[in-house]
Structure 1
Amino acid sequence: MKLAGLTVAYWCVLVASLLPIVCAGLAKWGMFGTPRSKGGYDNHHPRQWLAKQTDWRARANAAQANSFEALPFFIGAVIIAHQLGASQLRLDVLAFLYIVLRLLYIMMYVADLATVRSVLWTLALVANIAILFA
């Protein structure tokens, strides 16, 4: 299936590429209006500011890092599957499943549900491997 010339799997690549940005925004959520002197977001030193965060903000930042780490394998798997002529329906469903699992993973990470998060991470990895071999 194609939408605006791209397959659903390629749209999923775009969504996966935006997930780290969503995580970063979540980590910074509500801190833009707070003065830096009171712990508000420091755009002059954003990485240092994020490194000082705790609880759910720190976990959202960690989810950002993990989302960046998972991205190359997903992009590669989708491209390889397309090049090798995988069933488009199968590829689209698996790519969509991967995105759903990654979104759930991020939510569980931020919510500090470590075991569920790890299960979702594993399922997303399995979906990604299935894409590669689709």
Structure 2
Amino acid sequence: MSIAYWCILLTALLPYLWVFIAKRSGERYNNRNPRAWVAKQEGNYKVQRANAAHLNGFEAFPAFVAGVLMAQLAGVPADTVTQLAIGFVVARVLHGVFYLADKHTLRSLSWLVGMLCAAALMVLAAMRVA
């Protein structure tokens, strides 16, 4: 189960990679008012995409954590939890990469794969308890 826990940690930190890229890709980053700085980066699509990947990472995180913890508590086999957790992390990394590369179809597909992994963890947990 420890691999799934490491996946939670990686997924918690991943949004900060995307925001780091955003901050490095724009004109003089202003840490005093970061949201206003992002808003002023009109036309700098790398900043906007990296920031969007950052925000989306935080949006996807709770469902994944809930899925891993639910699956563990319900006694879903550790190998299954590990495989789904790794699948989620890979999907989320690809999601950010595709976001930066402006590959919208692949980005959406990787988002879907990640969310299906998180949902599968929850469904498997619910089936074990029922």
- The alignment covers a number of residue pairs equal to 122
Question: SS of the counterpart of 2:30?
Answer: coil
Task: Say if 2:73 is the partner of 1:78.
Answer: no
Identity %: 38
Structure 1: how far apart are the matches of 2:25 and 2:61? 27
Bigger proportion of residues as helix: 2
- 1:45 paired with 2:33, answer yes
**Which residue identity does 1:52 align to in structure 2?**
K
- Residue 127 of structure 2 corresponds to none
| 1:100 partner amino acid | V
Deviation at 1:42, TM superposition (A): 0.6
Alignment of 1:12-27 (within 5 A): 12-27=7-22
Instruction: Output the CA distance in 2 between the equivalents of 1:30 and 1:124.
Output: 26
Partner of residue 5, structure 2? 10
User: Normalising to structure 1: TM-score of the pair?
Assistant: 0.86
Query: Structure 1 CA distance, aligned partners of 2:40 and 2:72?
Result: 42
RMSD: 1.2
Match of 1:68 in 2: 58
The structural deviation recorded for 1:64 is 0.6
TM-score (norm 2): 0.88
Contiguous gaps of at least 5 residues in structure 1: 2-6, 32-38
Provide the C-alpha distance between the structure 1 equivalents of 2:105 and 2:24, rounded to a whole number of angstroms.
Answer: 25
Q: Deviations over 1:24-62 (max 9, x none)?
A: 10101255xxxxxxx301111111112222211100000
Give the secondary-structure state (helix, strand or coil) at the position aligned to 1:29: helix
- How many angstroms apart in 1 are the aligned matches of 2:50 and 2:77? 35
Q: Structure 2 residue aligned with 1:29, among 14, 24, 27? A: 24
Runs of 4+ in 1 over 3 A off after TM superposition: none
* SS of alignment partner, residue 44 of structure 1: coil
Which residues of structure 2 form unaligned runs of 5+? 125-130
Pairwise CA distance, 1:133:
2.4
1:96 paired to 2:91: no
- Residue equivalent to 1:129: 119
Q: Distance in 2 between matches of 1:58 and 1:94?
A: 30
Residue in 2 that maps onto 1:36: none
